[in-house]
Chain A
């Protein structure tokens, strides 16, 4: 505090005693200072009415509220920075596409058939084009790279994968009318799931296909299998179980065989399983009749690549095995069956895939039939291309080719074109045929494009570019006079049209924008640095000294100064300087954004406003901080607890680079919780007072044991199998609670209020509002929630079939609405106006005191609950939020979240007993608890674990914006509860007039958000870095999305609940006890 040069009042015992004396003294001092009194007449007048203490208190309140605004500004700005960083990363990383609902049908071609043919519009003749085959065997050899299939002349330098699979190349040369081999280019991401989507829909898949159902992986847009099923073809599947996830219910159940695809260490189980079943299906007559189209998916080559890399004897052996398999397949094929062998993607030099390098996207495609209908438009094309750059076909081309060969309609979303070799006839001059299939595919694409633009609300004619012109050229070409020339030109024009369209969509959908991703990571990283500098600078601003003597002297001094009109509060705080620089920088950046935009054309105005704004704000803040603290202080933590906090945060963040630690995150968090609990028990044993020691050890152990208890609640993710058993629901295959689980909410309703009461009783704070709130409102609310979940279960399981349908639903929805009205409506209002949880008791003083002879029987006034005035009042708000969150959790999560609340209270006691309230460990442990209970409330870092049905807890139908908020409350309930608890790290067991609480709360919130910012930054960086990883879309990408969402939720709830709740609490306490 700045000490102005004012004569200090002479210390005297009388001046300490009473407010009256202080007032008198202040007045006396004031009288002596005539000039100042004249100068500050206005203040003096006001003071006469209210008394200087009150006036001073008012002034302090104003100062608090003013300073609080700055803190609010800091966290709002950090929210902006985090959101901006995530926006840029996501823009470059998550490619989205709108999925259209329309399906093609056999009878309705996209354009009138130019030369009509016999049986057109029926499956017997061919829907849109005369069919060539009745049956097909489609074999996918996962990761079959193109150069695995072509001969390598230089034997001495040949690698293990060379010359091991010659059958495809040999047949293409020796029987060109029966077989052809071409490079088959995949569109990234080159992961099997995304590739299968592309290979069956004919479109370019992206990670999020907007519009599709998030929860399931099943393909809902139009696809080849849907067309097959539609016309009554029987489909059989063998191999990789990704197919059954994508196409549930499509395959003939008794002859299809799916095998686990994730065990990349096992090269043979799956392949052998497929081989065991494929030959009988092809050779045995009765089995042959059971299917029309077969999809067989071998994984051995891919697994050999993942495990050993391509240049390994295991790869040679695997490819040789595949060579034999293909020869056997050719032998057992009949004339009306088409055989397709292909890779769904390639592999890089290490044998991995997922990205977009040449080696990853260059697969091979080989088609074979005994009919001999294939041709080449140029005799030189008989030899398959020497490398994948020559005459490649795209993987999306498979869908129209197969569709037209089998006489099916082309799926609606297809963007590919028919493969030339399959339609050019034996002599390679069937231009009329080529023109017809080209026209049909192009018309389908045109139809798709119109529908897509209509769905996006874009007027097609406003889009520049050539597609329209190209279409017109192609149509015109058909009207030319010279027959062959005409078809040739038309075919070329339709192909050009298709290429142009797919080029446009590929640009829209399927490319990582790496600069944008780097920009996002850069903003997030600088934001984290600023946040840590802010927390450190705030913490270093000075710790409030707890000393009653000093407090009194200080108060007196303040009064004196105040009487003289001297204010000592206008010092620059960290929050203020930070907000000022941040906002000036951001405003400048936003202002310059449009200028930059005129230089670099093409991006949206939003993109050009945000980035310069964020960057320039960050630069300003970092520069300011660097200037303020020229001498770099020790960047490492200075105590064991600081180290512990840092180790928890950083080791977890590093762990997210590994799929194992990401999968087993819940166990890791439990390990951290136990580590902290044991450490705090050890630390508590060092306490001097026996009672403190016992309490400290008790709460530490309670913290650990409750954590262990909650870990019983598990919802396992697929990758945790078979080492994990789900207990969240009745069984691992259901999503309803077991009957015994319905008891949990009732047990909680009985016990939780008692447990919370015990934390109030400890500081004699179960007074005032607390007893009503906890004893009645909380208990009643919990009981109602328990009833709600029982009714829900009764409805689901139809316990009372006699009841009219909808009655249970109509009963339980109002119950839920009542609880929400109670907690969020009435509860919040009551919290704002509630008095502190205190009571005044008067008791006769000790009459026979040895020294107290002056006042023999003076009554003693005790303020019950004084020692925890801040904490107990704020906890009422936490209970409101807790009740809200519990309502939207399933019974098992109900129990887990209640255990978390208990754990948090124990944590607060431990922190207080061990004097750790200003250490980062408290906020970090709350964050760890929040993350831990995220998993214990039935969630995982996967999209499929989102409990969508929680949107219907208090509602009958989907209502915006409430439904998404409810799902958010369910998903991030634990993290929300943690950040709601956060101010208590500072406020718990604090006397009303503790100084510096605002700064302490701001620091704690910065640490807490810092944990999520670190994890968010780490998961972002790993997702970006591992964008070619096999597990990107299964593990890293969902974890990035969860990290991003959690960070934003922590930011938002930190501001909306923690900061505003803290402000209301300070007002509530300050009005009664005066402001500190």
Chain B
């Protein structure tokens, strides 16, 4: 999970020597153009944060059981969020202009299509769990012990990050290459993803310290970092740095 450099996180796409992909610039994801979506989108991080705060003592007490038992709740929150706020894949290409132009709320999505897309997105995002687990192991996660903990952490990250991404972008290969190369324009879905990875990365920092605190145990700090990073990234992506891209050089 690479770092984002706040100094160079600029939108300028001019004269990057090696980096710029040839694809035509993709646009950031817009929320569904209705008030409910805007409100839910604001309430969503608050709900997650509150939930995390309440479950934190249990997480420290018994990480695996808590992570497992909270999966259902987190997925319900996420399903609600994507269905009510985000345009499902295939129907998101008509962005801002329409919002400004007409007061048309329906977007041509049938009410059934969105839960169905959400369902398939949820199934597909499960496929990323082995990948995320392998990634953690490469970063030094314990491999012979605590494997269940690591897989559960991956599941939470998949729910937070992969699920909305799949819901919004489907299986668009070009788009996914953009996401994998962290070159997608910032929006609240991609921003959340970047923030989540960065948070989890930073979450590894306190683990080795000899403070003998209960919360230093695996994977409490990683999960905490991921959640905190997701909230911050989601808000920053949706507001502060919307539409910008991460430049490396």
A684 to B9, CA, bound (A): 18
The contact of B247 among A640, A644, A708, by CB within 8 Å, is A640
Cβ 8 A contact of A661, one of B181, B208, B248:
B208
Residues of A within 8 A of B111 (CB): none
Main SS of chain B's interface residues?
Answer: loop
A364-372, A486-494, A621-629, A663-671: which lies at the interface: A663-671
Q: When each residue 205-218 of chain B gets 1 if its CB lies under 8 Å from chain A and 0 otherwise, what string results?
A: 00011101000000
Whether A686 contacts B210 by the Cβ 8 Å rule is: no
Q: B101 near A: Cβ within 8 Å?
A: no
Chain B residues with CB below 8 A from A914, complex form: 18
- State the majority secondary structure of interface residues on A: helix
Given A660-B208, A661-B208, A682-B181 in contact, is the A675-B1 Cβ separation under 8 Å?
yes
- Closest chain A residue to B181 by CB distance? A685
A643 touches B2 (CB 8 A): no
Q: Does B190 contact A (CB under 8 A)?
A: no
Binds A, one of B120-128, B133-141, B155-163: B133-141
The interface residues of chain B lying within 8 Å CB-to-CB of A641 are 248-249
In residues 160-201 of chain B, which contact A (Cβ within 8 Å)?
A: 177, 180-183, 201
- CB contact under 8 A between A688 and B21, given known A640-B2, A660-B209, A682-B182: yes
Q: How far is the CA of A667 from the CA of B208 in the complex (A)?
A: 9
Structural contact, A678 and B249, CB atoms closer than 8 A: no
| A671 and B204 contact, CB distance less than 8 A | yes
Contact yes or no, A664 B181, CB < 8 A: no
In the complex the two chains form, is B2's CB within 8 Å of A682's CB?
yes
CA distance A950 to B137 in the complex (A): 34
Cα distance, A641 to B248, chains bound together (Å): 7
Residues B21 and A640 in contact, CB atoms below 8 Å apart: no
Q: Given the complex, which residues of A lie within 8 Å of B21, measured CB to CB?
A: 686, 688
Q: Counting CB contacts under 8 A, is A569 at the interface?
A: no
With an 8 A cutoff between CB atoms, is A683 at the interface? Answer: yes
A600 within 8 A of B: no
Contacts of A658 in B (CB 8 A): 209-210
Shortest distance from the beta carbon of B2 to any chain A beta carbon, whole Å? 4
Interface assignment of B7: CB less than 8 Å from any CB of chain A: yes
Q: Does A636 contact B (CB under 8 A)?
A: yes
Considering the complex, give the chain B residue whose CB is closest to the CB of A914: B18
Q: Do A915 and B180 touch across chains, with their CB atoms under 8 A apart?
A: no
CA distance A95 to B50 in the complex (A): 57
B interface footprint on A617-661 (CB within 8 Å = 1, 0 otherwise): 000000000000000000010111101100100000000001111
Contact in complex: B249, A915 (CB < 8 Å): yes
Given contacts A660-B208, A914-B18, A915-B18, contact A670 B5 (CB under 8 A): no
Chain A's closest residue to B176 (CB) is A685
B140–A670 CB distance below 8 A: yes
Give the nearest-CB partner of B19 in chain A.
Answer: A686
Does B8 have its Cβ within 8 Å of any Cβ on chain A? yes
B22 CB to closest chain A CB, in angstroms? Answer: 6
B131 interface residue per 8 A CB criterion:
no
- A989 to chain B minimum Cβ distance, whole angstroms, is 14
A668 vs B204: C-alpha distance in the bound complex, in angstroms? 10
Alpha-carbon distance A813/B108, docked complex (angstroms): 82
The reply to whether A664 and B18 form a contact with Cβ atoms under 8 Å apart is no
State A684–B68 Cα separation when bound (angstroms): 36
Q: Name the A residues within 8 Å of B247 (CB-CB).
A: 640
What sequence of 0s and 1s flags, for each residue 7-34 of chain B, a beta carbon within 8 Å of any chain A beta carbon?
1100000000111111000000000000
Q: Is the pair B248, A683 in contact by a Cβ cutoff of 8 Å?
A: yes
B3 at the interface (CB under 8 A from A): yes
B202 → A minimal CB distance (Å): 11
Counting CB contacts under 8 A, is A815 at the interface? no
Asked if B138 and A640 sit within 8 Å, CB to CB, the answer is no
Q: How far is the CB of B244 from chain A (nearest CB, A)?
A: 14
The CA of A441 and the CA of B66, in the complex, are separated in Å by: 69
Complexed CA–CA distance, A668 and B21 (Å): 33
A714 to chain B, nearest CB (A): 12
A674 contacts B138, C-beta separation under 8 Å: yes
Q: Are A643 and B5 in contact (CB under 8 A)?
A: yes
Q: Write out the residue numbers on chain B whose beta carbons fall within 8 Å of the beta carbon of A683.
A: 19, 181, 248
Nearest CB to that of B1 among chain A residues?
A: A678
* Residues of A in contact, count (CB < 8 Å): 39
Of B5, B17, B139, B183, which contacts A640 at CB under 8 A?
A: B5
**How far is A517 from B22 in the complex, measured between Cα atoms in Å?**
57
Question: Of A643, A664, A667, A685, which is within 8 A of B177 by CB?
Answer: A685
For residue A665, which residue of chain B has the nearest CB? B208
A225 on interface, CB distance cutoff 8 Å: no
| Chain B neighbourhood of A915, CB < 8 A | 17-18, 249
A187 to chain B, nearest CB (A): 29
Bound CA–CA A667/B218 (angstroms): 15
A117 adjacent to chain B (CB < 8 Å): no
Q: Within the assembled complex, what's the spacing in Å between the Cα atoms of A714 and B165?
A: 40
User: Is A830 an interface position by the 8 A CB rule?
Assistant: no
Chain B CB within 8 A of A99 CB: no
Q: Is the CB of B2 within 8 A of A685?
A: no
Cα–Cα distance between A686 and B249 once the two chains are bound (Å): 12
Q: How far is the CB of A681 from chain B (nearest CB, A)?
A: 9
Interface residues of B in 195-249 (CB under 8 A from A): 201, 204, 208-210, 212, 246-249
Give the distance in Å from the alpha carbon of A643 to the alpha carbon of B3 in the complex. 9
Does chain B have a CB within 8 A of A687?
yes
- Which of B135, B137, B248 counts the most A-chain CB atoms under 10 A from its CB? B248
Q: Does A955 contact B (CB under 8 A)?
A: no
Q: Which residues of A contact B17 (CB under 8 A)?
A: 915
CB distance from B176 to the nearest CB of A (A): 10
Whether B140 lies near A674 (C-beta < 8 A) is: yes
Closest-CB distance, A20 to chain B (whole angstroms): 37
The one of A643, A647, A661, A708 that contacts B138, using a Cβ cutoff of 8 Å: A708
> Are B208 and A664 in contact, CB atoms less than 8 angstroms apart?
yes
> A672 CB to closest chain B CB, in angstroms?
10
Q: Are B210 and A660 in contact (CB under 8 A)?
A: yes
Give chain A nearest CB distance to B173 CB in angstroms: 12
Given known pairs A636-B7, A705-B138, the reply for A687 and B18 (CB within 8 Å) is yes
A514 CB, nearest partner CB in chain B, Å? 28
Candidates A640, A659, A668, A674; contact of B210 at CB < 8 Å: A659
Inter-chain contacts of A674 with B (CB < 8 A):
138-140
- Report whether A639 and B248 are in contact in the complex, using a CB–CB cutoff of 8 Å: yes
- Distance, CA A858 to CA B87, complexed state (A): 62
Q: Complex formed: what's the CA distance from A230 to B4 in Å?
A: 67
Closest B residue to A707 by beta carbon equals: B138
Contact yes or no, B208 A668, CB < 8 A: yes
Q: Which residues on the B side are within 8 Å of A705 (C-beta)? A: 138
Which residues of A sit under 8 angstroms from B5, Cβ to Cβ? Answer: 639-640, 643
A679 interface contact, C-beta 8 A: yes
A685-B180 in contact (CB<8A): yes
Contact of B182 with A667 in the complex, beta carbons under 8 Å: no
CB distance from A422 to the nearest CB of B (A): 42
Closest to B143 in A: A708
Q: How far is the CA of A919 from the CA of B248 in the complex (A)?
A: 12
Contacts of B2 in A (CB 8 A): 640, 644, 675, 678-679, 682
Q: Does A704 contact B (CB under 8 A)?
A: yes
A265 at the interface (CB under 8 A from B): yes
Nearest opposing residue in chain B for A664, CB measure: B208
Closest to B142 in A: A723
* A641-B248, A660-B209, A682-B180 given; 12 more Cβ-contact pairs under 8 Å: A639-B8, A640-B8, A643-B5, A663-B208, A667-B140, A670-B139, A671-B140, A674-B138, A678-B1, A685-B180, A687-B18, A704-B138
Interface residues of A, Cβ cutoff 8 Å to B: 265, 636, 638-641, 643-644, 647, 658-661, 663-664, 667-668, 670-671, 674-675, 677-679, 682-683, 685-688, 704-705, 708, 711, 913-916, 919
Q: List 4 tightest A-B contacts by C-beta distance, closest first.
A: A685-B181, A679-B2, A664-B208, A640-B248
Could you list 29 examples of A-B contacts with CB < 8 Å? A636-B7, A638-B8, A639-B248, A640-B246, A643-B8, A644-B3, A659-B210, A661-B208, A661-B209, A664-B208, A671-B140, A671-B204, A674-B139, A675-B2, A675-B139, A678-B135, A679-B248, A682-B2, A682-B180, A683-B248, A685-B177, A686-B19, A686-B248, A687-B19, A688-B21, A705-B138, A708-B137, A914-B18, A919-B249
